[in-house]
């Protein structure tokens, strides 16, 4: 492992400056590598994300110039304004394509660093392609200070027309639930498998300390979302919205308090099951808060929600046995 201190006042090469942030309590350790000098390897990620011996987090996010990575160079060819790349790793050290909550936290971090002024649209590089972020108003009734909306790009159902017609293309067995359930695969640049439960008591009974068993399982694994539909309502301005509640088991992490791409997958699956008259806008309640998912007419999906930076710290890599 090689790490260069990221704060000008760091006393030695064993000190690593970090920031802790979260989006609806999906939490991350953030690293400033705007010089592109850091080697972010799996041992460092695991040590930082360890909730007892490290700082703790569902993942680690590095700010790095897009030009410094092959994946970033591909992004720049598509969008020259995507100067910064979100290098995201799961808590187990594995590389992930995307994280919807992480993108919002990444944008808030760039604001903190002075790399974005919070106005207009911010283009970011990710392994799932370009993501565009903007600030939006916080919906009424929520106590969050600021919301960001992210164009999450195109989504699709890997099972195609048959899955759309039948509402399923997989089977999932979840500990705590009596029988396996049929489920629908949704791709948002990373894989998801969504299954509907009958009510909130079933949602509470699910044991996500163990990974659900998915058949057939995608080659790169999958995130699994358990959802309960809460109904539909008209907002005062005349928009029909749906509401769902969700829990998620993330590959490489386990159960998390929230998952941005998972919230999108859950909303899109429920919308598919509901048919042609279903709302395009869905509020998704997760254990860590609420996000809003919008299925756009251009085939993209937008995710909006809060992002919070809670602390800055200096990590002693020697104490983590990494220096």
Catalytic residue among 49, 99, 149, 268: 99
DSSP string, 5-48: --STT--STTEEEEEEEEETTEEEEEEE-TTS--B--HHHHHHH
Could you tell me which of 291, 271, 27 has the C-alpha nearest to residue 150? Answer: 291
CB atoms within 10 A of CB 265: 33
CB atoms within 10 A of CB 39: 10
Is residue 293 within 8 A of residue 61, CB to CB? The reply is: no
Residue positions counted in the chain: 323
Annotated active-site residue 259? The verdict is yes
- The first and second tokens of residue 275, run together, are 């048919």
DSSP string, 43-98: HHHHHHH-TTTS---SEEEEEEEGGGSHHHHHHHHH-TT--EEEEEEETTS-B-S-
Q: In the 8-state DSSP scheme, what is residue 105?
A: H
Could you tell me which of 6, 26, 27, 8 has the C-alpha nearest to residue 18? Answer: 6
**CA pair distance 243, 286, nearest whole angstrom:** 11
Catalytic residue among 208, 259, 264, 301: 259
Is residue 194 within 8 A of residue 225, CB to CB? The reply is: yes
**CA pair distance 312, 309, nearest whole angstrom:** 8
- The first and second tokens of residue 79, run together, are 């969008």
Ramachandran assignment for 149, one of left (phi > 0), alpha (psi -120 to 50 degrees), beta (any other): beta
Q: H/E element holding 240?
A: strand 240-250
Query: Which residues are known catalytic residues?
Result: 99, 259
């Amino acid at each position: 492992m090689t790490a260069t201190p990221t704060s000008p006042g760091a006393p030695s090469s064993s000190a690593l400056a970090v920031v802790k942030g979260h989006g609806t309590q999906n939490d991350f350790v953030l690293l400033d590598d705007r010089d592109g000098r850091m080697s972010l390897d799996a041992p460092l990620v695991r040590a930082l994300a360890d909730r007892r011996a490290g700082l703790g987090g569902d993942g680690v996010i590095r700010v790095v110039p897009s030009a410094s990575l092959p994946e970033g160079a591909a992004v720049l060819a598509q969008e020259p304004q995507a100067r910064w790349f979100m290098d995201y790793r799961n808590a187990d050290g594995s590389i992930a394509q995307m994280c919807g909550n992480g993108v919002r936290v990444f944008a808030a971090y760039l604001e903190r660093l002075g790399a974005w002024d919070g106005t207009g649209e911010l283009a970011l590089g990710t392994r799932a392609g370009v993501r565009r972020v903007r600030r939006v108003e916080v919906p009424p009734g929520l106590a969050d200070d600021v919301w960001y909306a992210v164009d999450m790009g195109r989504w699709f159902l890997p099972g195609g027309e048959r899955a759309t017609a039948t509402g399923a293309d997989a089977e999932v067995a979840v500990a705590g639930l009596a029988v396996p359930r049929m489920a629908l695969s949704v791709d948002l640049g990373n894989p998801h498998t969504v299954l509907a439960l009958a009510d909130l008591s079933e949602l509470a009974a699910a044991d996500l300390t163990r990974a659900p068993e998915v058949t057939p399982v995608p080659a790169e694994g999958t995130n699994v979302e358990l959802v309960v539909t809460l109904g539909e309502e008209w907002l005062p301005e005349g928009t029909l919205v749906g509401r769902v509640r969700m829990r998620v088991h993330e590959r490489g992490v386990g159960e998390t308090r929230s998952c941005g791409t998972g919230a999108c997958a859950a909303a899109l699956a429920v919308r598919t099951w509901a048919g042609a008259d279903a709302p395009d806008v869905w509020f998704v309640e997760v254990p860590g808060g609420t996000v809003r998912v919008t299925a756009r007419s251009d085939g993209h999906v937008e995710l909006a929600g809060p992002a919070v930076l809670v602390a800055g710290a200096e990590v002693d890599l020697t104490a983590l046995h990494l220096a």
